[in-house]
Amino acid sequence: MTTHDTTIAPVRIGNASGFYGDRFSAMREMLDGGELDFVTGDYLAELTMLILGRDRLRDPSRGYASTFLRQMRECLALAQERGVRIVANAGGLNPKGLATDLGELAADLGVTVAIAHVDGDDLVDRADELGLGTPLTANAYLGAFGIAAALDAGADIVVTGRITDASLAVGPAASHFGWRHDDLDALAGAVAAGHVIECGTQATGGNYAFFTEIDDLSRPGFPIAEVAADGSSVITKHPGTGGAVTVGTVTAQLLYEITGPRYLGPDVTTRMDSIALEQVGTDRVRISGVRGEAPPEDLKVSLNMLAGFRNEVTMVLTGLDIDAKARLVTEQFESSLATKPETLTWELSRTDRADGTTEAQSSALLRVIGKSRDADVVGRHFSAAAVELALASYPGFTMTAPPGKGAPYGVFEPGYVPADAVHHRVTLPDGSVTVIEPSPLRGPSTPDAPEPASPVRDWGPTTPAPLGLIAGARSGDKGGSANIGVWVRDPEHYAWLEETLTVEALRRLLPETEHLRIARYRLRNLLAVNFVIEEILGRGVADNVRFDPQGKGLGEWLRSRVVDIPQRFEVI
């Protein structure tokens, strides 16, 4: 275990991308905004891997996030001038290709730069032998030590394929402080910091439940983690940028897309229930006390498969007799289909209101989605069946847009393989290749058991009011499941929340979850409970036809539901 030299200054790691498509100017903003040692960029998500897989099918030289290359054209010289090193997972399915193109770009710009890339995560050619089937993409989530090895070898830029998002920050910290596999608490602390900054401005007020409390959200600044030798950190942002960094914004991001108290990773299992947060200044939140355990034996694998083709039509129903209009057009449409798709889903959203003062207020939306393995079944014939009803159906027939020809869609599934079956490789700036061995500490993971409900005490008189008056929430997708992290800002409020917001209460408040498996976990240090709702998103964002396909609004729906809040809390 490394002896932590507290005299070494913290390493300043800024993030400039939370997803493929994030603010293009963020890279320059981070480089211009103040002192940094590293800038990281997260470009990959489960859906992104599917998009890149389809790109690679069309052109084997593609498969990486081209936005990053364009950002480097603008910022490479500036980064070198400022002495800032860059780590990004923009390599996607083709880290080598991105590294090669970066080298050519640097030569064109006349900039001398040392480039390394991390790969070995791509298992698609071995998927069948590893028991993963025949997916379009199959990528293991690698850890941080490949990045650290590249930085130790002098790389100015490290591009990777599928690594865990937090590893973008853990790798630079491990290199800076010389951490080893047995520095579990330090690694866990860096994972917590990396998890906070990985989604960009979600840590500085973006998508924040109490957003009205933030003075300037017109253009939130991107976050920075100042990571210390022991793994503790301070989350902040550049001075003068929008948004805010508070215990609340950091809590919200810590709860994003997690399960129970144990946050499994390839290098360490991070105990989310050990995290302590403290506001230590304006836009400065300290993360400390994070405990780490041995990582699991297996690595998670992101699997994407092409599942078929889909098409959809949205019809507008206005005024009276909405239900009757919906029944009529449903019967007409289905009887007009020469071949019925394997899956045909109807969804009526009653966005209308009685005696609406605008046409929009008087209208509902009826959506039909068809899925088939045969492109023709949901292609032009599907669209024609809707168009042909234009003069023959309910009064006021119209659609939100002309129907299209349909498009391929994919499904996501997680897989697992032994860590030592994955060849984690680093190609260093001199062209040599280093193989990164998995953690020697890995072992069977201890599952988090959902905790039983607490006995309910008498909280005195209550008033019916939206839960969101007292609680914040953040939700998101993990394949076909979704999580909702709910937190409060007062210990007494937490005692009430812990007792009141049970799995049964969640089912009542969110009826769509009534027949689904739900687990609840307590995170007392964060004054939070986290729910994991299985299969609410079907087989992932690219497959499911739910109104909110990534579950991003589940938390806000929950906050809008009325519960009995104790009057003693004085929030009403």
Q: Tens digit of pLDDT for each residue in 311-334?
A: 999 999 999 999 999 999 999 999
Residue among 382, 369, 371, 394 nearest 337 (CA): 382
Closest to 204 (Cα-Cα) out of 232, 231, 225, 228: 225
Confidence band of 410 (pLDDT split at 50, 70, 90): confident
Q: What is the pLDDT of residues 255-276, one digit of tens each?
A: 999 999 999 999 999 999 999 9
Res 292 pLDDT > 70: yes
Look at residue 549 in the predicted model and tell me its pLDDT.
Answer: 82
How much is the pLDDT for 479? Answer: 81
- How many CB atoms neighbour CB 348 within 10 A? 17
What residues contact 221, with CB distance under 8 A and at least 6 apart? 29, 33, 201, 204, 237, 238, 241, 242, 243
What are the pLDDT digits (tens) for 30-59?
999 999 999 999 999 888 998 899 888 889
Token output for 205: 């007020």
Tell me the average pLDDT of the chain: 95
pLDDT for 543 equals 66
| Residue of higher predicted confidence among 544 and 259 | 259
Question: Residues of CATH 3.30.70 domain(s) within the chain?
Answer: 309-411
Q: How buried is residue 453: exposed, middle or buried, by Cβ count under 10 Å (0-12/13-18/19+)?
A: middle
Task: Give CA–CA dist 462/489, Å, rounded.
Answer: 19
The residue with greater pLDDT, 8 or 164, is: 164
Cβ pair 296, 264 in contact under 8 A = yes
Taking residues 187-209, report their average pLDDT.
Answer: 98
Q: What percent of the chain has pLDDT over 90?
A: 86
Residues 6 or more apart in contact with residue 249 via CB below 8 angstroms: 202, 203, 204, 205, 208, 243, 285
> pLDDT at position 541, please?
63
Rg for the chain (alpha carbons), in Å? 25
The Cα 405–Cα 4 span in angstroms is 60
Give the pLDDT of residue 542: 60
Backbone angles phi, psi at 180, to 5 degrees: -120, 180
Tokens of 499: 């007792």
- Tens digits of per-residue pLDDT, 454-503? 777 899 999 999 999 999 999 999 888 999 999 999 999 999 999 999 99
Q: Which helix (H) or strand (E) holds 4?
A: none
Q: How many CB atoms lie within 10 A of CB 98?
A: 28
The strands making up 115-119's β-sheet, listed across from edge to edge, are: 276-281, 284-288, 233-237, 223-227, 11-15, 38-41, 85-88, 157-160, 115-119, 424-427, 433-436
User: What's the pLDDT band for 544 if we cut at 50, 70, 90?
Assistant: low
Q: Is the pLDDT confidence value at 453 over 70?
A: no
What CATH code is assigned to 309-411? 3.30.70
Mapped onto helix, strand or coil, the DSSP state of residue 522 is strand
Q: Is the pLDDT of residue 444 over 70?
A: yes
Grade residue 2 by pLDDT with cuts at 50, 70 and 90: low
When pLDDT is cut at 50, 70 and 90, the band that residue 445 belongs to is confident
Q: Quick check: 288 pLDDT over 90?
A: yes
Q: Does residue 454 sit in helix, strand or coil?
A: coil
CA angle 249, 253, 258 (to 5 degrees): 150
CA nearest 287: which of 298, 277, 299, 300? 277
Tokens representing 137 are 């993409």
Read off the pLDDT of residues 96-124 as tens digits, 9 standing for 90 and up: 999 999 999 999 999 999 999 999 999 99
Which percentage of the chain shows pLDDT scores above 70?
Answer: 98
Is residue 452 scored above 90 in pLDDT?
Answer: no
The mean pLDDT of 71-83, rounded to a whole number, is 98
Pairing of strands 115-119, 407-418: unpaired
How many DSSP H helices and E strands does the chain contain? 13, 26
Residues in the chain, total: 572
d(Cα 221, Cα 39) in Å, to the nearest integer?
14
CA-based nearest residue to 521, from 485, 557, 475: 485
Q: Are 520 and 503 within 8 A, CB to CB?
A: yes
Strands (E), 31-77: 38-41
pLDDT band (50, 70, 90) for residue 408: confident
pLDDT of residue 318: 97
Q: What is the pTM of this model?
A: 0.94
